[in-house]
Structure 1
């Protein structure tokens, strides 16, 4: 019996370790792709030499949560940006979930302008703030991208390990949406991108 239990325990530990390793590998692969995108974009605020100043929390699967999704019906509205300009969005729905043992919710938005482009027709936007802002993470909040195809059977996997900084975290001159008050979380989300460690660049509005 002890042999059977020992064998089962070994298998479970190995399986758990494999899953954890896979999650870490997937997260790091995502971050490598994220960095590469800065070099592909003509509108990027960063150059190759700046990428070493990007900082992230260690991958943490506890911040990859399954959220309940509720579709919303609402008219378009103007979301303010840090440059003073507005961008037109529509409230697409609400995600309800638990993080750090507390119930939270985030509103999901859809850009009316990006929706017209084939590349971004399925693009959804989740701007948010949490208790790490202004300390370990950018004071202006962070973003998470989703697709309409991520919403299945009334649920969605919300991975805060993929939370990223708006361009305004690196440089002025960008129209970065300000996370609405209803997307201010009452918890510290110690996952995703942290503060940029290089001096903030000043530039004209793009």
Structure 2
């Protein structure tokens, strides 16, 4: 009888703990992971006052029409250049190539970049950087544009790559002006409303 009581008590404790643990906020795994990172005080870009009341980032509804296949045209012998940022910092980048795709019936071309600083970091050496603005910028989304990470390993043998605009994020400057963030080049403007991915942060 005592064994039964002990087992029942343990099960009750486990049940209470699992019920008390709040689930991660977000519709997709990407959103949940991003929210978890922003909730973690040790790595979050949020200011202390914003972190205290943080419940989750705002996203547009997930929309499969904003998942496209792009053709990559690699840029040969691209020079290293200093990318403009929100501060005096000038990180080194190279143009990796041009991405050509159709979005909502429009022909779009975006330039994708490779950070030369990240090449020295084992964790980020396979990352490519895709910043863009669109017709929601400075309205529903952050005025400085949004970012998308693309992995070298995601590029297929025929130089095509899937771009998922649902999986975008804001520069840290959208949350805290102490950060230095690359400015989106003007040529990377999409002349339509990209109503997918991260929205502007309401402080």
Q: When the two structures are superposed, what TM-score results if normalisation uses the length of structure 2?
A: 0.80
1:62 to 52, 61, 65: 65
1:35/1:51 contact within 8 Å kept: no
Structure 2 residue aligned with 1:17? none
> 1:28-39 maps to which residues of 2 (within 5 A)?
28-39=28-39
Q: CA RMSD in A?
A: 1.8
CA distance in 2, matches of 1:162, 1:181: 21
Unaligned runs of 5+ in 2: 1-25
CA distance in 1, matches of 2:146, 2:41: 19
Deviation by residue 1:64-114 (Cα, 9 ceiling, x = unmatched): 001111111201101100123211100011110011110001111011111
Displacement over 6 Å in runs of 4+: none
Structure 2 residue aligned with 1:125? 129
Structure richer in helix, relative to its length: 1
CA distance in 2, matches of 1:78, 1:137: 26
Deviation of 1:28 (Å)? 1.2
CA distance in 2, matches of 1:110, 1:194: 25
Structure 1 residue aligned with 2:17? none
2:114 to 107, 110, 113: 110
Report the count of equivalent residues.
Answer: 173
Unaligned runs of 5+ in 1: 1-25, 199-206
Deviation of 1:43 (Å)? 5.0
Residue 33 of structure 1 aligns to a residue in which SS?
A: helix
CA distance in 1, matches of 2:160, 2:79: 23
Which of the two has higher C-alpha Rg?
2
CA distance in 1, matches of 2:99, 2:124: 21
> 1:64-83 maps to which residues of 2 (within 5 A)?
64-73=67-76, 74-83=78-87
CA shift in 2, pair 1:41/1:154, >3 Å: farther
Does the alignment pair 1:157 with 2:162? Answer: yes
Structure 2 residue aligned with 1:193? 198
CA shift in 2, pair 1:27/1:89, >3 Å: farther
Q: When the two structures are superposed, what TM-score results if normalisation uses the length of structure 1?
A: 0.79
Deviation of 1:27 (Å)? 6.1
CA distance in 1, matches of 2:106, 2:201: 28
